[in-house]
Amino acid sequence: MDERYGVGIDIGSTCAKTVVVDGDGRILWRDLRPTGWSSVDTAGAIRRDLTEAVKDGALVRFVATGYGRVSVPFAHRCVTEISCHARGAAGQILLMKEYPMIYLDNAATTMTKPACVVRAVTEALTSLGNTSRGAHEGALNTNRLLYRTRKKLADFFGCPRSEQVVFTNNSTEALNIAICGTIHRGDHVITTVLEHNSVLRPLYRLEKERGVQLSFVQADRLGRINYSDFERLIQPNTRAIVCTHASNLTGNMLDIDRIGKIAAAHGLLFILDASQTAGATPVHMAKSGISLLCFTGHKSMMGPQGTGGLCINGDVEVDPFKVGGTGVQSYLTEQPREYPTRLEAGTLNGHGIAGLSAAVDFIAATGMDAIHAHEIALCRRFYEAVVSIPKVRVYGDFSSWNRCPVVALNIGETDSAVVCDALACDYGIATRAGAHCAPLMHRALGTEAQGAVRFSFGYFNTAEEVDAAIEAVRDIAGRN
């Protein structure tokens, strides 16, 4: 077991107080000195002096308080006197016992990336020029990277043409391009109440700006939909079905084969938001009849933030969302029509894409089935333990484990933000509270006011971490 220390630094307006405690709360070192003119310099001096009290290699958790707390850049947490008084000093000291953080917010982003992704990004930072901007080796290296990554992603998602894999910064950008580039004035679109705002807001905008009509497939209190609603809602001017593969709140997964067949039978575009599934659940555009697939690189794909893409199936025409420099056909006054250039104005995130490419390799080497099985096993372990804890309400349909590794819950009537903060501060467990950018899903679940605490599991989580989260939920439920 590594040695652990808690360090509390209070940078006050006149003096700075520091205390070092060990894992059992024993005071090992204390210090009092004038804050002086520069609280930053004072914090730096304290840190240097701390080396006498804290052994090399020990795990240290810093908590900073006082008006000058922002001057302690190495603090793991800065808190006000008010929060100290509210929670008590002991609550703050507890922070050190949870080091390192148990990260259960993988549906927001996977925080731990495979080592090969880290290496790829690091190497790219000193080896890539700008794609399509020159024919020197630096630029060509980036061209080659993008070309190979497009091919990998086309195989990965069953996209028939690799030149129709378009890089974007995230799913939101891909969805904006897909939705705004294919839905025209007077069109009708069918979507669902499971959607994230990355789908809803582009649609609402088109409703306002282009007179687009929207219809929503509703969900019941378990977040389930009725698939026949898609057919029932089709109108003569229906252009597309736009929906998520899985709810980011409940983890409920939709049957995209079924939706794809409905879209194909009625000649509709099928635009899929695969933000929550890409990388951990197989998605095959050709097999599922997906016209436009939008994915992000930083969640289940375990790539860097700022990566993602739009895959275009067949001859779907997507108007560019942005126009500008492409490095080719520079004397054209309009954006070149050819994919992927049509939709990729401006310098791409080559460094991030290098990481995404490595992430795809990691998933292929590890096996998507193995990744999904591990994540679902953790999710199931958590669900089956918390569902029977008194006062705990779990949201979503757990009748099948063909779902995303997400469990959203509430404890009694306590504000989800309060539970989430207690998990973070008292147990070192990172979760997500609030609305999760899914307003209609919360409305359907009846959780608009309270929100929900979302636990989402990733490939690098362990059973021990899940057990700690279970005990934390039990503990908080017992106190409320």
Partner 1 sequence: MRIRERRLIVAFYTTHDAMAFEDFCLDRGIGGRLIPLPREISAGCGLAWSAPPGDPAGLRALLAEAGVAPQHMKEMDI
Task: Specify the residue, 42 or 149, whose C-beta has the smaller distance to partner 1.
Answer: 149
Nearer to partner 1, 146 or 420 (CB): 146
Q: Give the range of 180-188, 212-220, 334-342, 405-413 binding partner 1 by CB under 8 A.
A: 334-342
Candidates 89, 135, 364, 387: give the one binding partner 1 (CB under 8 A): 135
Which CB sits closer to partner 1, 73 or 324? 324
| Contact residue for partner 1 among 45, 93, 101, 140 (CB under 8 A) | 140
DSSP 76-117: SEE--HHHHHHH-HHHHHGGGGGPSPEE-BTTT--SS--HHH
Packing angle between helix 350-366 and helix 368-386, nearest 10 degrees? Answer: 80
Please, is 368 exposed, middle or buried when counting C-beta atoms within 10 Å of its C-beta (0-12, 13-18, 19+)?
middle
Residues binding partner 1: number (CB under 8 A) = 25
Tokens of 89: 């000093």
Q: Residue written as tokens 């190979």?
A: 148
Residues 465 and 428: their CA atoms lie apart, in Å, by 11
For the bound state, the minimum distance from the C-beta of residue 143 to partner 1, rounded and expressed in Å, comes to: 5
CB of 82 to partner 1, least distance (A): 57
Indicate whether 160 belongs to the interface with partner 1 (CB under 8 A): no
Residues within window 336-375 making contact with partner 1, judged by CB under 8 A: 336, 338-341
| CB-based contact 310:168 (threshold 8 Å) | yes
Strand 59-65 versus strand 102-103 pairing type: unpaired
Instruction: Identify residues 229-268 at the interface with partner 1 (CB under 8 A).
Output: none
Q: Select the residue interacting with partner 1 from 22, 31, 123, 163 (CB under 8 A).
A: 163
- Contact region for partner 1 (CB under 8 A) — 107-115, 131-139, 225-233, 403-411? 131-139
Please list every residue from 294 through 333 that binds partner 1, using CB under 8 A: 327-332
Nearer to partner 1, 131 or 307 (CB): 131
Nearer to partner 1, 195 or 344 (CB): 344
Cα distances from 473 to residues 165, 338, 432, 455, 476, in angstroms, run: 42, 53, 14, 11, 5
Closer to partner 1 by Cβ: residue 289 or 309: 309
Q: What is the rounded distance in angstroms from the CA atom of residue 382 to the CA atom of residue 364?
A: 27
What's the CA angle centered on 221, arms 215 and 225, to 5 degrees?
Answer: 40
Please report the beta strands in 176-217, taking only residues with DSSP state E, as ranges in sequence order.
188-192, 213-217
> What is the DSSP-derived secondary structure letter of residue 244?
E
- Find where tokens 């790539």 sit: 303
Give the residue, chosen from 18, 35, 131, 349, that forms a contact with partner 1 under the rule CB under 8 A: 131
In the complex, the smallest distance separating the C-beta of residue 339 from partner 1, rounded to whole angstroms, is 8
Interaction residues for partner 1, span 458-477 (CB under 8 A): none
By CB under 8 A, the residues from 385 to 444 that bind partner 1 are none
The residues binding partner 1 (CB under 8 A) are 131-135, 140, 143-144, 146-148, 150, 162-163, 327-332, 336, 338-341
